[in-house]
Amino acid sequence: MRLHNIITSILIAAALTACSGKETPGNGQGNKNEEQLPTVEVLEVRSTSVPQIGEYTATVEAFKTNNISTSTPNRIKQILVDVGAHVAAGQKVVVLDDVNIEQLKVRLDNTERDYDRAVELLNIGGGTRQAVDQLKTELDAARRQYANMVENTILTSPIAGVVTARNYDPGDMTGQLPILTIEQVQPVKVIVNVSESEFSKVHNGMEVDVTTDVYPDRSFKGKVYLIHPTIDAATRTFTVEITLPNTDSDIVPGMFARVTISFGEADHVVVPDRAVVKQPGSGNKYVYVYHPDDRTVSYNLVQLGRRIDNSYEVLSGVDNGAQVVIAGQSRLTNGAKVELAEK
């Protein structure tokens, strides 16, 4: 009997110990789970008017380029300008060997006299129309030949510009290379490729801003003067040509340039850069959006526009008035329940 009482006491004690070790709702482990929810800081974002700016890189080019050359090989007698010289339109720049030009001039003069005599004879009844017509044909041919020889003996620049290359010296025979290269640098031009989404927003005459690495503290005003009428199917862009007056000739062909084009304004949500999460291994960017109804966050893929100071324009992925997570993203997953940080 005594042994029975001892065993009974031991079993009762064990039962009490087991009961005291059980967790009850609201105690111990339950509170621990509640405390382990990620804590985040959120910010309500709003749509605002954002300037739509396109930024492009380009290389400065001459507005026009002309290669001074001959149609047939000839010996160079004189080169009247050198690299760096500024020339006017129509200015003589090269003189070639004129050994044959005098003979052609004599032939032309003789043909003109023969033609004039034939016309006089025809007028007094002493000649024939056939003779006059034949001499007229010969005269036209002689004039063309002489003019062609003059054109290929005394070479002029068709444009006003600066000499940027010289490939021969006096006494050389002309070959495949041009004798001189002359570039028009007032104005100069830059060529940029613009996204097809902006095609309807670009028009001739619109002003743009151009900067160069050579003059980092200066901005030059340019104007759109030519819009190519087709879209490149591979790049989904179209070509825009822009001129800069360059009245002081400070900008020279070959300079690296940055072009800024304003396309007006648009209403878009703006989020702090702290809200943007970059996915490792891809170029995708995301924003965690907080949903107060169930205290969860969603992992939203976003399309970003311009960077504005310490914020980004959001083109898609975040609604106006949404609450975005700006701190505490490292422990989050899509659909996770969170706690808000105390303010």
Q: How distant is the alpha carbon of residue 193 from its chain centre?
A: 4
Q: Does residue 95 contact residue 154 with C-beta atoms inside 8 Å?
A: yes
Between 101-123 and 129-151, two packed helices, what is the crossing angle to 10 degrees?
A: 160
pLDDT at 221: 96
Torsion angle of the four alpha carbons 212, 216, 218, 220, in this order, in degrees rounded to the nearest 10: 20
pLDDT surpasses 90 at 6: no
The answer for residues whose C-beta is within 8 angstroms of residue 335's C-beta and 6 or more apart is: 296, 297, 298
Which tens digits make up the pLDDT trace of 203-260? 999 999 999 999 999 999 999 999 999 999 999 999 999 999 999 999 999 999 999 9
Grade residue 327 by pLDDT with cuts at 50, 70 and 90.
very high
Grade residue 315 by pLDDT with cuts at 50, 70 and 90.
very high
| Domain layout of the chain by residue ranges | 38-53+267-340, 98-150
Q: How far apart are CA 114 and CA 127, in angstroms?
A: 12
Out of 61-70, 128-137, 323-332, pick the least confident. Answer: 128-137
Which tens digits make up the pLDDT trace of 123-149? 887 778 888 889 889 989 989 888 877
Out of 26-35, 207-216, 252-261, 267-276, pick the least confident. Answer: 26-35
- Round the average pLDDT of the chain to a whole number and report it: 87
pLDDT at 165: 97
Q: Which fold has domain 38-53+267-340?
A: 2.40.420
DSSP-assigned letters across all residues of 73-123: --BEEEE---TT-EE-TT-EEEEE--TTHHHHHHHHHHHHHHHHHHHHHHH
